[in-house]
């Protein structure tokens, strides 16, 4: 499998895991002030005129995790320090979290780092991004036929 196909599949797997955790968070009533799907749907409505429905939010979430982050990880992975794909996935996902905190959250009206929603939101989203990164990196490594935890070679 080429690295971009592996990145997209790994992005999809990581997004499904992240989505399950987001649904669990909601069903447990944790952080009701933060709903990423509603935030994405609202932004799609505000900036693109799309309907602000949960379906729109979920589609955007799936596309971002699978295509944007999955393909970007595949492109950047050989350049990310850290050795094992899981470590590279974590480092990558921390970068995506920072982008979310300084670009997406302010655009959504939640302020820098989402602090207008309270301190638990940036902390919880960081944890979720790290889990996303572990799954992304581990899945990518398996798809690229590397043993989990195995450091990749520089030449690819």
**CA 120 to CA 113: how far, in whole Å?**
11
When pLDDT is averaged across residues 117-138 and rounded to a whole number, the result is: 97
61 with 19: CB under 8 angstroms? yes
**CA 53 to CA 88: how far, in whole Å?**
34
What percent of the chain shows pLDDT beyond 70? Answer: 94
Question: For the packed helices 54-63 and 36-48, what is the interaxial angle rounded to 10 degrees?
Answer: 90
Over residues 23-71, the pLDDT tens digits come to 999 999 999 999 999 999 999 999 999 999 999 999 999 999 999 999 9
The pLDDT value given to residue 83: 86
Tell me the pLDDT band of 137, cut-offs 50, 70 and 90: very high
The pLDDT value given to residue 151: 57
Q: Residue 60: CB partners within 8 Å, gap ≥ 6?
A: 40, 41, 44
């Amino acid at each position: 499998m080429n690295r971009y196909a592996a990145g997209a599949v790994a992005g999809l797997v990581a997004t499904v895991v992240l989505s399950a955790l987001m649904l669990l968070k909601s069903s447990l009533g944790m952080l009701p002030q933060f709903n990423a799907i509603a935030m994405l749907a609202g932004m799609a409505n505000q900036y693109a005129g799309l309907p602000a429905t949960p379906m729109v939010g979920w589609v955007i979430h799936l596309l971002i995790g699978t295509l944007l982050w999955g393909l970007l990880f595949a492109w950047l992975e050989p350049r990310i320090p850290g050795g094992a794909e899981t470590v590279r996935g974590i480092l990558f996902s921390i970068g995506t979290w920072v982008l979310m905190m300084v670009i997406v959250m302010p655009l959504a009206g939640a302020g820098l780092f989402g602090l207008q929603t309270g301190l638990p939101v940036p902390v919880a989203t960081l944890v979720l991004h790290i889990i996303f990164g572990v799954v992304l990196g581990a899945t990518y490594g398996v798809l690229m036929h590397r043993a989990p935890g195995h450091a990749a070679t520089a030449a690819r």
